[in-house]
Structure 1
Amino acid sequence: MRNHTEQSTEQSTDARTRAAGAGAGAGAHGAEGRRLPLAPLLALATAAFITSLTETLPAGVLPAMSRDLDVGESTMGQSVTIYAIGTALTAIPLSAATAGWRRKRLLLTAMAGFALAHTVTAVSGNFPLTMAARFVAGVAAGLAWALLAGYARRMAPVALQGRAIAIVMTGIPVALALGVPAGTFLGEALGWRVTFSLITAVTLAVIGWIVATVPDYPGQRRDGRTATTPRTLTIPGVAPVLFVTLVFVLAHTILYTYIAAFLDRLGMGGSTGLVLLVFGAASMVSIWIVGIHINRRLRALTLAGVVLVAAASALLAMASGSPVLVYAAVTLWGLGWGGAPTLLQTAVGDAGGEAADAAQAVLVTLWNAAMAGGGVVGGILLGLLGSGSLPWSVLALLLPVLIVVTGARAHGFPARRAGRE
């Protein structure tokens, strides 16, 4: 953990940066030190929305894409996998290679990567070219996810850093609850190419928003002190947070990826959209709660999130076709899961200290590896044991997660966040 002199130096440097060129957004809280710069934070939230929407949208327009590109639906489905692979393979090396870049330049580069990938996807009539564009989108996502939480922390007063991250992370459930259904509807009404073209337009608008409102910050100095991945993993508290990230995301993805198959088994296949809408709405409530209480109750909120997802899995395992139990379960699931990105990114940032950017890059890599792995593991379970095995597998995976969070009291998920009380 950083000593007080290092922390004060970093805070004074960021304060000078904000005062010199932050613009209207950052200047809003510079004088009082107690206000959040909403305009730039909402720009970052929209960037998170685009990142999450880009990842999941192909699932909603899969049949049309597979017909136009003349491949099977299972083959076209790998467009989601290749995105996750692009992120997992490049987040750490690109984070290290661009450590000295100014943060705004790097963020704009990531968003330009999304715009390029969406444009190529919209006009491509060739499956390999489409997959290449999806890989580029995954690379852009690796850059973006490694930046967003740290950017939000630097723009906010210390006591409000968790709330700032929560605002940025609202882009994820909004994309899942509203963006994907809207994109699917537009794809059915106007064609999937129009949908991707519209995402390009939104991305270009966000680039302009970032240019106008988001303050710039320097990268890490290249003086030999830049954290490497092995060194980052030895920092107390980082490893427990990364373990929880890997296993918690794996458990969630196993069930979420195959929720339609699970609902089919219960005779609720026609309600998949409504079930996911309930999940998304509960996730947004979760982020709101986490944003209010994270600065004082990060540990309690993390424990509660794990317990709620475990309770949801238990209810789904016993649902036996009861719609009431299913909707109760997905509500608990959303409440437990929605705040997880904010909690885990805040925890790894706190634990990483001066190596926070490197720790974030590792977290992004493990997050996407877990998502890719969840699809594979869930598919194996579905084929061998049926969809009824999915909630039981989630329960089994959440047990070690609960043990690690409980044990990481001193570092990782401390009862008191130093300097945030």
Structure 2
Amino acid sequence: MSDCLSADDRSAHANGRAAAPREGLPVANLLALATAGFITVLTEALPAGLLPLMSADLRVTEALIGQLVTIYALGSIVAAIPLVAATRGIGRRRLLIAALAGFVVSNALTTVSPHYALTLAARFVAGMSAGLLWALLAGYASRMVDECLRGRAIAVAMLGVPVAMSVGIPAGTALGAVFGWRIAFAGITLAALALIGWVRLRLPDHPGQPAGSREPVLAVMRLPGVRAVLAVMFAYVLAHNMLYTYIAPFLAGERMGAQVDTVLLVFGVASLAGIALTGAWIGAAQRRLTFASIALFALAALMLGAGAGMAAVYAGVALWGLAFGGAPTLFQTAAAQAAG
């Protein structure tokens, strides 16, 4: 049995109660969280693979379809802090179900929407749900395990990110090409519904913070390191989203328009390698891994921007995926540590 205790166990000891022994990682529960992350990333990035189809159906330019990813990110950023502040007293399972319900509603609206404006509004709602989900995911995973396993637990919970990139986006793009883009979003809606049932029946609940123990959000933001971590994370994610959203037009300009699925697959496989390395080394080399992720991403962007041919594009995409795979785990862990 582990010789370190979780936050809940320490609280139990402080109140004179015996802590329940826990061993290893609760893999099934963490995979439920990973599936939530999978749905979140799939909802966010799928328009990037379906740009031409959605543009033709909604009768707007591809640039405007790209803004569906931007408005999603805006909803996530704008809503994250207010929603987290408003929901800190709510149980974690109930909050996760609420976030997933937001994905059900927003993706269902996207599936049936005949108008760009309605689709844009649905995407903003999806972004709000994402902001809530990302804010609770790492903490939820951490509270399932002993303290010494938190890095690995977060890595498993974040596994949905590279899996969505490596499998979900190419599969969704292929599904949309064969059956129509609306079927792809209908599939995400059904997946989110199924996950709500899984979470409701199987995941342990953890209470929110009691009113007297909650740190004001602004006080947390003033803690040393928090703003720096959030600023770097914001810039990293913004750069990634800009590049990923317009990958199809970029490849068309490189005469690789027919290879979008293959390029996304390379990105995803490299992301899986990145998260595997992060999960193995985060405990011993978190800081170095974070700097390596940023440096590799910058190098990948330079390689892609140089436009030196197909080999350079594939090499740049592989480096990009390797850098991005572990980034969510690294930044979430750094933010949690900075916030105490």
Identify whether the pair has TM-score above 0.5, normalized to the shorter chain: yes
1:139 to 99, 107, 128: 128
Q: Per-residue displacement from partner, 1:219-268 (whole Å, max 9, x unpaired)?
A: 11112x42233211221221221222123233434433444444444443
Cα distance change of structure 1 residues 313 and 55 upon mapping to structure 2, 3 Å threshold: closer
Cα distance change of structure 1 residues 278 and 120 upon mapping to structure 2, 3 Å threshold: same
1:252 to 236, 240, 244: 240
Cα drift, residue 97 of structure 1:
0.8
Cα drift, residue 213 of structure 1:
1.8
Residue 160 of structure 1 contacts residue 295 of structure 1 at CA under 8 Å; is this kept in 2?
Answer: no
Residue 14 of structure 1 contacts residue 154 of structure 1 at CA under 8 Å; is this kept in 2?
Answer: no
Cα distance change of structure 1 residues 59 and 268 upon mapping to structure 2, 3 Å threshold: closer
Equivalent position of 1:338 in the other structure: 325
Cα distance change of structure 1 residues 260 and 120 upon mapping to structure 2, 3 Å threshold: closer
1:80 to 64, 69, 90: 69
Matched, 1:238 2:236: no
2:94 to 105, 111, 122: 105
Cα drift, residue 89 of structure 1:
1.3
Matches of 2:73 and 2:145 in 1, distance apart?
30
Q: Per-residue displacement from partner, 1:259-312 (whole Å, max 9, x unpaired)?
A: 444444444343333222111101111101111111121112112222322333
Residue 224 of structure 2 contacts residue 338 of structure 2 at CA under 8 Å; is this kept in 1?
Answer: yes
Residue 69 of structure 2 contacts residue 245 of structure 2 at CA under 8 Å; is this kept in 1?
Answer: no
SS in 2 for 1:227: coil
Matches of 1:97 and 1:328 in 2, distance apart?
44
Structure 1 counterpart of 2:111, which letter?
Answer: A
Cα distance change of structure 1 residues 178 and 253 upon mapping to structure 2, 3 Å threshold: same
Residue 14 of structure 1 contacts residue 217 of structure 1 at CA under 8 Å; is this kept in 2?
Answer: no
Equivalent position of 1:93 in the other structure: 82
Cα distance change of structure 1 residues 10 and 247 upon mapping to structure 2, 3 Å threshold: same
Cα drift, residue 109 of structure 1:
0.7
**RMSD, matched Cα:** 2.6
Equivalent position of 1:180 in the other structure: 169
Cα distance change of structure 1 residues 92 and 205 upon mapping to structure 2, 3 Å threshold: same
Identity %: 51
SS in 1 for 2:211: coil
Please list, as runs of the form range in 1=range in 2, the aligned pairs for 1:276-315 lying within 5 A after superposition.
Answer: 276-315=264-303
Question: Unaligned stretches of 5+ in structure 1?
Answer: 1-6, 21-26, 354-421
Structure 2 counterpart of 1:112, which letter?
Answer: A
Please list, as runs of the form range in 1=range in 2, the aligned pairs for 1:406-417 lying within 5 A after superposition.
Answer: none
Cα drift, residue 52 of structure 1:
0.5
Structure 2 counterpart of 1:349, which letter?
Answer: A
Cα distance change of structure 1 residues 264 and 300 upon mapping to structure 2, 3 Å threshold: same
Residue 48 of structure 2 contacts residue 245 of structure 2 at CA under 8 Å; is this kept in 1?
Answer: no
Residue correspondences, number? 334
SS in 1 for 2:89: coil
Q: Per-residue displacement from partner, 1:353-396 (whole Å, max 9, x unpaired)?
A: 1xxxxxxxxxxxxxxxxxxxxxxxxxxxxxxxxxxxxxxxxxxx
Cα drift, residue 346 of structure 1:
0.4
Equivalent position of 2:41 in the other structure: 52
TM-score, normalised on structure 1?
Answer: 0.73
Equivalent position of 2:54 in the other structure: 65
